[in-house]
Amino acid sequence: MRPRTLVLTLLLVAGFWLTTSRGQWQLRHLVRPLTSSGKLWADPATAQGAGFGADEQNNIDIYKANRLATVNITSVVYERDFFYQVYPREGTGSGFIINEDGEIITNNHVINNSRNITVTLSDKKQYKATVLGIDRRNDLALLTIKANRKLPFVHLGDSDNLQVGQKVLAIGNPFGLEGTLTTGIVSSLGRSLQNEEGMLEGLIQTDAAINPGNSGGPMFDSRGNVIGINTAIYGAQTRSGEAGSIGIGFAMPVNRAKAILEEYRSTGRISHPVLGISSVQLVQGDLAEALELPTSGGLLIEGIERGSPAEEAGLRGPNRAVIVGMYRLGVGGDLITHVDGEPATSPDSLRRAINRKRAGEKLELTLYRGGRSVKMSVTLGAAAEAL
């Protein structure tokens, strides 16, 4: 017998002996590791502690409490093209309901002088809106809708004591994506921004994402109170040609809106303050010296409207005209050197100071008149905003 055959025979004999002489042996002992019902892996430890962090829950609560009061606004303005053909131009933005009767705050540039305004609520129902008043200098508008039911509304907070670094949340309809929530912080305060109507001042800067369609929507603090109205962004251009967020957005402080609400409810209108100086000329340096005025300069009054607060207060306009170099100026009137204690260093100094006030408030002026400095207080008048 060959050695290989002998080895195979011995293995077969040994196997037969094992299977017949071990009564306790069972096949399942070999396959138990494969048929065990025990888990072969451990679940992630975090899954057993599922839930939301305090900040996440705060975001969720604020969104749920205010989502239904945030609305989409569509306006249509009819314009003429190069060939004088009339065509409709549609604009979209956001807004928020401030009481159960359907009053809504948004940006003035969202409605864009339109009287064809549609408000879409979170339940998709649409209503035609009526413009109650506008405030161009703060880019705000007050609308109303008649829903014949009580509507959800937001709560207005206080924007006078904001702090850089505090959390903010924005709800709106960027690019038509309704009910979008973004979060961030107050990045800075007191920012100024030029728009089509002039200079917007005292804005809240934020890094919360604000995009086209967010304009007019609410900005909340961590308590769920509205502290601002999302208004503008610095942004990169998207494929559609619109600007997209790069983390620099601006909101109008809510206290500006509260001021126009107070005025509307007490007088039935929204007005802007009026001084009555029709034009000024910035003079300084050599030009001021040529006119025998202080070289530090100021705003030379070139015209005063008849019957205006400026005339009633005794401000003086020019009494003659002179030509100095390339300039034809009215001279002999008051030179405004300071406005509310601040040097009058630009043509906008006067207008910007007036825009920070309300009708009936006083404007403090420092004048150069007849070779000496004179202080004068002027009570601002009121003119209704044209709708």
By annotation, the residues acting in catalysis are 109, 139, 215
- E strands in 223-319: 226-237, 243-253, 271-274, 277-283, 298-304
Distance CA 224, CA 296 (A): 48
Give the closest residue to 346 by CA, choosing from 333, 334, 336, 356.
Answer: 336
Q: What is the 3-state secondary structure (H, E, C) of the chain?
A: CCHHHHHHHHHHHHHHHHHHHCCCCCCHHHHHHHHCCCCCCCCCHHHHHCCCCHHHHHHHHHHHHHHHHEEEEEEEEEEECCCCCEEEEEEEEEEEECCCCCEEEECHHHHCCCCEEEEECCCCCEEECEEEEEEHHHCEEEEECCCCCCCCCCCECCCCCCCCCCEEEEEECHHHCCCEEEEEEEEEEEEEEEECCEEEEEEEEECCCCCCCCCCCEEECCCCCEEEEEEEEEEEECCCCCEEEEEEEEEEEHHHHHHHHHHHHHHCCCEEEECCEEEEEEECHHHHHHCCCCCCCEEEEEEECCCCHHHHHCCCCCCEEEEECCEEEEECCCEEEEECCEECCCCCHHHHHHHCCCCCCEEEEEEEECCEEEEEEEECEEEECCC
Q: Which residues pair with 6 in a beta bridge?
A: none
CA end-to-end span of the chain, whole Å?
118
